[in-house]
Amino acid sequence: MKRAPTRQKLLNILKKEHDLTIDGIMEYFTISEIAVRRHIHELENQGLIKRNTIKQKIGRPYYTYELTVEGHSTFPNQYDKLPVELLKDLEELQGSAAVNQLLIRRMEREKAYFEMEIKADNFDQRIAEVAKIQDEKGYMVEIEKTAEGHYEMKNYNCPISNIASCYKQVCDNEKHVFDELFAESEVIPRSCITNGDNFCKWIIRRPNE
């Protein structure tokens, strides 16, 4: 369902930042606080965000806002039960090795797609192209260059988290793909959505030149 730009922006902000006070939310807007609160109220009515009351020992309580489960589900995902059920059926019928082989086949297909789409040899441009591809696939990617010239890549959404939560090999395979794409670099996973983190974070170190 298409939403007003301000409401979609609110959902995007809370997807990235997890939970925020109204002051934290207002840092992202130039419109009035009254207008933003009106949009927040509408999203609360739709069941997409919820308000948490934070009590303090001294002073009045304050509120933070975060996405509900339904709010998270508005982002690209493959939460349908069927893929996991099929993998579990395959495991029951033919054993875990068959599932591993199937996931390896998917990994090889992903790697081949990256290699076909990525044109750059330059490290910085290659990072940008990988981020763009992942973002188009629904991973909600942000990249940040460190002072040392390395990159932090964050994925705020995992379109296949239902599968990855049951079969951790999916995350291992993703690292293998990144290792292949950045063969001269060290790729270091720092956080993972399937472990309960708010985002998946990768450190991709600049190759020694």
**Model confidence over 113-130: pLDDT tens digits?**
999 999 999 999 999 999
**Model confidence over 120-160: pLDDT tens digits?**
999 999 999 999 999 999 999 999 999 999 999 999 999 99
Task: Tell whether pTM > 0.75.
Answer: no
Q: Which of 133, 139, 87, 88 is nearest to 113 (CA)?
A: 133
For the chain, report the end-to-end CA distance as a whole number of angstroms.
48
Q: Alpha-carbon distance 85 to 175, whole Å?
A: 24
Average pLDDT rounded to a whole number, residues 188-192: 95
Of all helices (H) and strands (E), which one includes residue 63? strand 62-67
What is the predicted pLDDT for the residue at 1? 56
How many secondary structure helices (H) and strands (E) does the chain include?
9, 7
Q: Alpha-carbon distance 24 to 52, whole Å?
A: 14
What is the 3-state composition of the chain as percent helix, strand, coil, each rounded to the nearest 5?
A: 50, 15, 35
